[in-house]
Homo-oligomer: A and B are copies of this chain.
Amino acid sequence: MSLSEPLQEHKETLLTALEQGQRERLDELLPELRAADLSEILEELVEEEDDLASVLSLLDCLPLERRANVLGYLPGEVQLEVAQSMSDELLLSVLEEMGSDERADLFNLLDEDRQEVLLRRMARQEREDLKRLASYEEGTAGAIMTSDYVAIPSGMTVSQAMMRVRQTAPDAETVYQLYIVDPEGKLAGTLSLRQLMVARPGARVDDLMIKDVIRISVDEAQEEVARLVARYDLLAMPVIDHDDRLVGIVTHDDAMDVVESEATEDFHKGMSIGQLEDGVSRVPLWSLYRKRVTWLVLLVFANLFSGAGIAYFEDTIAAQVALVFFLPLLIGSGGNAGAQAATLMVRGMATGDVGVKDWGKLLGRELLVAGSLGLTMALAVAPIGVMRGGEAVAMVVATSMVTIVLFGSLLGMCLPFVLNRVGWDPATASAPLVTTLIDASGVLIYFTIATAVLTGV
């Protein structure tokens, strides 16, 4: 994507200072930029201008902690390029300064030899932590959690806990939600810093903490984390392993990123586009082609059924050519109504507004709404039917319209539930799939009605 104007200006100022070797000017300019903004400038430099050298020089001007922070904001492939041009020594120090979740993500991108070299040079605990975090499957709670949380041993007093918070403050991802763990490492309760601050210093955290903590298992889906964080307005969500031991937290900002990326994924699925690894403006062309072509070609074959249907009714068509005029209208309308119904269900299921149990109730509702929609559209098209082909054709077209819209809407509504039932993502009930199915059925419905009415069978 293109940079916004102020960022474009920042970029040019930075490049000029870099070219002229004005290190002092850079030290003045760089701290003014937020990590999210600076990383966007660096990303553009690598991806648009292929200028890795400037990126590395600019990163070199940053103190280590900030360098790690900025790096964490960059897309994976850029991080990898930067990492590849760093010495082992430097990369190790940068990794150490990164948040534990970002560290694991970058580590997973490196090739195995480099991973081995780096692991061998790490302290044991650090190594175990990294190996563990890097091992969780993408898309799970484990893969997006961080191990930089504040754990308070059960039995501590409020003032001891407060001391612990102050000690952990520089490294922890958040210090505002504290987790109390028993000697076995199991999650015993939680306490907000706010509660701690207003509590009596001598009180025990065990007496203050909330014991019924909302928690999630490491291998649950990241969508579920996001759903719970949104539902209960959490600042962070504790993640536990199979023995109920606390192993990490997912903070609100990471949960928000999940909501955005899941919505984008569902949008693309809704149009039968496979999951992109990056934004549409950056993903390679070949990948964009592959993600779109599969369903399009499948639908070419599905669409042939409509053709076969038309061939079957050749005599009816030959007898009344005016019927063909209304073909795009009828199948188009059915497809539109069906795609609407499918989208309402898919989105309702994604946000948790619609459950599988609601199926029966929603079917009744859709029947009423789609029936009314079909009638309205039939009334709109009837006069044109009379004009073009006479009353008989008008009757065929109007009847077909009601039937096709009703059928299409019900198909669109039910498909997400059926897919869900067989274990597929309901979002696969995409507009292209739904409209193609309805196209074929629409042809059959239309010409069956036409044959019956016009030939009096």
Binding site for B on A (CB under 8 A): 1-2, 4, 32, 34, 36, 165-166, 169-170, 175-176, 193-194, 197-198, 212, 214, 229-235, 252-253, 255-257, 259-260, 263-264, 266-268, 270-273, 279-282, 285, 288-289, 292-293, 295-297, 299-301, 303-304, 306-308, 310-311, 314, 317-318, 321, 324-329, 331-333, 335-337, 339-340, 343-348, 351-355, 357-358, 361-362, 365, 368-369, 372-373, 376-377, 380-381, 384, 388, 405, 431-432, 435-436, 439-440, 443
Contacts and interface: CB of A to CB of B under 8 A. Distances in A.
A229 to B, nearest CB: 7
Contacts of A440: 328
A336 B296 contact: yes
Contacts of A436: 332, 336
Contacts of A176: 176, 193-194
Contact of A169 (B197, B267, B405): B197
A229 B36 CA distance: 11
Q: Chain A: interface secondary structure?
A: helix
Given A285-B368, A354-B281, A233 B253 contact: yes
Given A263-B263, A288-B365, A332 B439 contact: yes
B285 A369 contact: yes
Given A229-B256, A252-B252, A343 B273 contact: yes
19 contacts: A1-B355, A34-B214, A234-B253, A259-B260, A263-B263, A279-B353, A281-B348, A281-B353, A281-B362, A292-B337, A292-B369, A293-B376, A296-B336, A296-B373, A297-B377, A327-B327, A328-B331, A332-B436, A435-B435
Nearest to A368: B285
B271 A343 contact: yes
A368 B286 CA distance: 10
B353 A332 contact: no
Contact of A328 (B175, B256, B267, B439): B439
Given A272-B340, A303-B328, A328-B306, A347 B253 contact: no
Contacts of A253: 230, 233-234, 252
Given A32-B212, A285-B368, A289-B373, 17 more contacts: A176-B193, A233-B253, A266-B267, A271-B336, A271-B339, A271-B344, A273-B343, A273-B344, A279-B353, A281-B353, A281-B361, A282-B353, A285-B365, A293-B373, A300-B377, A307-B388, A318-B321
A1 B348 CA distance: 9
